[in-house]
Amino acid sequence: MSEPSPKDPAPAEDAESEPRPGRVRKPIGWSTIIIAALVAVSAGLVWRRDGTDGVLEILTHDLSLFGGILPRVLAGCLLGAFISEILPHEKVSRALGPKSGLKGLLIGTAFGAILPGGPFTAYPVASALLAVGADFGATIAMVVSWTLIGYGRAVAWEIPIMGTDFTLWRIVISLPLPVLAGALGRFVYVRLYPKPATKDDEN
Amino acid sequence: MSAALLIDILLWGSVFGVGLIAFRRGPPVFKASLREGSMDFVNIVPRIALGVIGSGYIAAIIPQEVISGWLGPDSGWLGVATAVVAGAATPGGPVIGFSIGTVALKSGGGVPQVVAYVVAWALFAFQRVILWEIPFMPARFVWFRCAVSVPFPFVAAAIAMLIGKP
């Protein structure tokens, strides 16, 4: 995505006055409530089984994990914000929008495969792409590609634990899946929501 | 460890790269996206905290042996379907998911079943969907993506059956 778009330099004032497609910030939603309840019940069960020591042991371990992840979450949020700011809306709609065809799915797949980092990068960036005009199909291709053929998790976890042979073989098997998932997503989306494209056509 | 460091360098290098592009569009653009990104971060931290700190408890009460038991050597499509459910139900992070896959391989689980398990885990492990994907993305997109992804662990298993072992 490091395409500096030399032919339309987008003067600063212009870029600033342009209404930014803001991302939705949900308050504490039902998914948070469900997970909180799940955590509370699990912690209660751990306490009944292992006592206070067991609860504290998991807590300290996960707190240190959380501390390690925080900077990466910040990096992911910044990456998403910068990308949604610098990618021109019309170009993204053309390259990754509903009418982008197989090429759009391939671009989404390539993008997901080269994206560095973990879930803390992939989801903010995917959300930014949706906000600047990518359709569900291309975004699905990107997310599925990141999770199945992206090198981040493979290098950090899968190769050390499952071995190089299995991992490479599994990635080869997964190669066609992001494009297929994106195509299926587009196919279903158009039939579920027959008239969504017109709203996004004006920039 | 070095792999994690490399990924951190790539990650912050990308942030720096796109930040530089934004800066060259003018300081207001740069500041606006910096503010936007920081606000996203502040909003997301409580949910990530809940998820990361809580996931240890969820992982502790779902014993790994139960899940690797589901991946037993019974091959065929029923085994694949079980593997898909097991992948979706696996709590915890990548260490747990891949370890279960490895245990299943070593204890005689079928290769297509283990592939289906790993792919299903990657596509829709419930914990990642709830903790990471839903906080960052529109919920409508997340459910749609998960529904659309359901056939693909089966496709991966079919390809694995066709082309054979690694």
Encode pLDDT of A81-133 as tens digits. Answer: 998 888 888 888 899 999 999 999 999 999 999 887 788 889 999 999 999 99
Q: Could you give the number of structural domains in chain B? A: 2
Instruction: Indicate the DSSP class of residue B133.
Output: I
Assigned token pair, A42: 């699990």
From residue A194, how far is each of A86, A106, B41, B48 by CA, in Å?
30, 24, 35, 35
Q: Are B84 and B155 found together in one domain?
A: yes
Q: Does the beta-carbon distance from B25 to A10 stay under 8 Å?
A: yes
Distance from CA of B36 to the nearest CA of A (A): 6
Q: Is residue B104 in a domain?
A: yes
Q: Is residue B55 in a domain?
A: no
User: Which domain does B39 fall in, by range?
Assistant: 1-45
Q: Are A133 and A178 found together in one domain?
A: yes
Q: Are A44 and A136 found together in one domain?
A: no
Q: Are B79 and B156 found together in one domain?
A: yes
Radius of gyration of chain B (CA): 20
Q: What is the ipTM of this complex?
A: 0.85
Last residue of a domain, one of A10, A42, A70: A70
Nearest to B14 by CA among A202, A40, A114: A114
Q: Are A53 and A130 found together in one domain?
A: no
What distance in Å separates the CA atoms of residue B4 and residue B8, rounded to the nearest whole number?
Answer: 6
B125, closest residue in chain A (CA to CA):
A147
For B111-147, what is each residue's pLDDT tens digit?
899 999 999 999 999 888 888 888 889 989 999 999 9
Pick from A57, A78, A145 the residue to mutate for testing the B interface (most B CBs within 10 Å): A78
Q: Are B19 and B66 found together in one domain?
A: no
Q: Could you give the number of structural domains in chain A? A: 2
Q: Are A108 and A164 found together in one domain?
A: yes
CB contact, 8 Å: B20 with chain A? no
pLDDT at A192: 87
What distance in Å separates the CA atoms of residue B127 and residue B88, rounded to the nearest whole number?
Answer: 8
How many Cα atoms sit within 13 Å of A110 on the Cβ side? Answer: 9
Q: Are B26 and A10 in contact (CB under 8 A)?
A: no
In whole angstroms, what separates CA B141 from the centre of its chain? 16
For A37-70, what is each residue's pLDDT tens digit?
888 998 999 999 999 998 999 899 888 888 888 8
Q: Are B33 and A85 in contact (CB under 8 A)?
A: yes
Q: Are A45 and A91 found together in one domain?
A: no
User: Which domain does A165 fall in, by range?
Assistant: 87-203
Q: Does the beta-carbon distance from B25 to A155 stay under 8 Å?
A: no
Residues of B with CB below 8 A from A1's CB? 18
Q: Are B67 and B92 in contact (CB under 8 A)?
A: no
DSSP A96-157: HSTT-HHHHHHHHHHHHHH--SSHHHHHHHHHHHHHTT--HHHHHHHHHHHHHH-HHHIIII
Distance from CA of B82 to the nearest CA of A (A): 19
Kindly indicate the confidence band of residue A4, based on its pLDDT and cuts at 50, 70 and 90.
Answer: very low
Q: Are B93 and B145 found together in one domain?
A: yes
Q: Is residue A160 in a domain?
A: yes
Q: Are B108 and B40 found together in one domain?
A: no
Q: Is residue B73 in a domain?
A: yes
Q: Are B72 and B152 found together in one domain?
A: yes
Q: What angle do CA A156, A121, A17 make, to 5 degrees?
A: 160
Distance from CA of B40 to the nearest CA of A (A): 6
Q: Are B66 and B141 found together in one domain?
A: yes
Q: Is residue A97 in a domain?
A: yes
Instruction: Report the residue from B21, B29, B141 with minimal CB separation from A130.
Output: B141
Q: Are B100 and B90 in contact (CB under 8 A)?
A: yes
Output the pTM of the full model: 0.80
Instruction: Report the residue from A29, A120, A162 with minimal CB separation from B98.
Output: A162
Q: Are B77 and B132 found together in one domain?
A: yes
Assigned token pair, A72: 């990466």
Would you tell me the crossing angle of helices B151-163 and A164-174 to the nearest 10 degrees? 120
pLDDT at A160: 85
Q: Are B37 and B87 found together in one domain?
A: no
Scan for tokens 């939603």, then name that residue: A29
